[in-house]
């Protein structure tokens, strides 16, 4: 019986491309932990399609370094999970949402989130280029961690935009996510760099939240009030959102074009439809636009670094709207139609451009039945310190729904 056939009785939401029911384990700090891996990360002997029909028969010859590190730590690799093809998307439309059936599971690491949410994995690896670990975590009420750019190796990962690609972790339990991240990250010289005192300095954007749905704004204000009772809330001037998104788009399209440009026309025709629609857009990115975008990205990274001279963490909603319907292309925000892509990446993409570590956390308060997700970001290089800070917030977040302005 194939791995895919083994998965069918259990995998009712379609999380897995291939499932390994009898995955071996070994001794180590992650002994017995069940790990699913996104299908753009190589797992020896399993499909490595990145969601493209062109690669439907491709099988990984060797483990990516991130997979090897987890095996060496004792984890069980239980299979590979569906993705938006090539990472071109944020909804993984073929995968259902176990937490909120009928609503998007998020993406592009949607299969990884579904594998955890349905109980077939304890944690899952995903990749995050504009929010693709944190978004599905938010859509399913899970924890999602994106590291500092470059801290976790991308070798053996099918790329989308090397400037922004990060391997990350999705899990139900913060301890599982933290231990998995520690196995991937190795020693962290900045582990104590975030906490200035038991009373954290938490930065929030001083600008109006006009890009967010009113229900998201209200839930976020409840969280801020709750946290403000124990920590210091510091209003900040964040980098201008449109500027960040424009730079991200130009760099991503240019780099994605470089990844696929060696393919013959017949091969391009066998890529997934979403890639076929996205790649031609790179023709609109001129050399001057790309130079300007890279300059903006470098400036944004410095600007975010400077913010951490005043705060220990930066807090925002993870996504800007309640979890959209599964096949929605647009959502209504404050009476205006907004693309689902924008609504889901607007708050996450900054930290791909700046490269800072970020964590999506679920609150007790729910929006349309899904736990409201907040995003916290930390200093560059202080990944484990960020994870160490999260338990200082979670006792408050569990009761955020009980506090009102």
Instruction: Point out the residues that are catalytic.
Output: 38, 108, 132
d(CA 144, CA 359): 6
Q: In what order do the strands lie in the sheet with 201-205?
A: 16-19, 76-81, 34-38, 123-128, 166-171, 143-146, 358-367, 370-377, 313-317, 201-205, 232-236
- 261: which 2 tokens? 């440009």
- The DSSP string of 79-94 is EEE--SGGG--SS-TT
Non-local (6+) Cβ contacts of 26 within 8 A are 71, 72, 74
φ, ψ for residue 202, nearest 5 deg: -110, 115
Query: How far apart, in Å, are the Cα atoms of 324 and each of 110, 175, 201, 339?
Result: 14, 29, 32, 11
- Give yes or no for a contact between 49 and 38, defined as CB atoms under 8 angstroms apart: no
What's the angle, vertex CA 280, arms to CA 276 and CA 284, rounded to 5?
A: 160
- Give yes or no for a contact between 331 and 321, defined as CB atoms under 8 angstroms apart: yes
- 205: which 2 tokens? 């954007």
d(CA 359, CA 378): 9
| Angle separating helix axes 214-228 and 383-397, nearest 10 degrees | 90
């Amino acid at each position: 019986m194939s791995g895919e056939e083994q998965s069918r009785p259990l995998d009712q939401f379609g999380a897995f491309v291939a499932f390994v029911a009898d995955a071996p384990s070994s001794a180590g700090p992650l002994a017995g932990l069940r790990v699913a891996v996104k299908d753009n990360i190589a797992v020896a002997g399993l499909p490595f399609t990145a969601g493209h029909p062109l690669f439907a028969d491709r099988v990984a010859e060797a483990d990516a370094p991130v997979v090897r590190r987890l095996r060496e730590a004792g984890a069980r690799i239980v299979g590979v999970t569906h993705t938006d093809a090539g990472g071109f998307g944020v909804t993984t439309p073929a995968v259902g949402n176990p937490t909120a059936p009928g609503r998007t599971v998020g993406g592009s690491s949607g299969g990884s989130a579904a594998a955890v949410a349905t109980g077939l994995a304890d944690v899952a690896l995903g990749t995050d280029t504009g929010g693709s670990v944190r978004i599905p975590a938010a859509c399913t009420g899970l924890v999602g961690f994106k590291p500092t750019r470059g801290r976790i190796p991308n070798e053996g990962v099918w790329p989308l935009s090397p400037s922004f690609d990060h391997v990350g972790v999705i899990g139900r339990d913060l301890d599982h996510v933290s231990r998995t991240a520690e196995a991937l990250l190795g020693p962290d010289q900045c582990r104590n760099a975030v906490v200035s005192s038991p009373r954290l300095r938490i930065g929030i954007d001083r600008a109006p939240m006009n890009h967010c749905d009113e229900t998201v704004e209200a839930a976020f204000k409840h969280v801020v009030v709750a946290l403000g009772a124990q920590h210091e809330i510091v209003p900040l001037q964040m980098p201008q959102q449109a500027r960040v998104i424009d730079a991200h788009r130009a760099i991503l399209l240019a780099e994605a074009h470089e990844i696929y440009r060696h393919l013959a026309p017949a091969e391009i025709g066998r890529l997934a439809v979403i890639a076929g629609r996205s790649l031609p857009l790179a023709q609109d990115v001129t050399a001057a636009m790309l130079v300007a975008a890279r300059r903006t990205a470098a400036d944004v990274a410095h600007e975010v670094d400077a913010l951490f001279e005043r705060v220990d963490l930066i807090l925002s909603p993870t996504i800007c709207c309640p979890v959209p319907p599964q096949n929605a292309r647009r959502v209504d925000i404050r009476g205006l139609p907004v693309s689902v892509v924008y609504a889901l990446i607007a708050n996450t993409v900054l930290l791909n451009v700046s490269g800072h570590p970020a964590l999506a956390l679920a609150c007790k308060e729910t929006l349309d039945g899904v736990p409201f997700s907040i995003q916290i970001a930390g200093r560059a290089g202080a990944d484990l310190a960020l994870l160490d800070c999260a338990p200082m917030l979670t006792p408050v977040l569990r009761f955020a729904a009980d506090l009102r302005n």
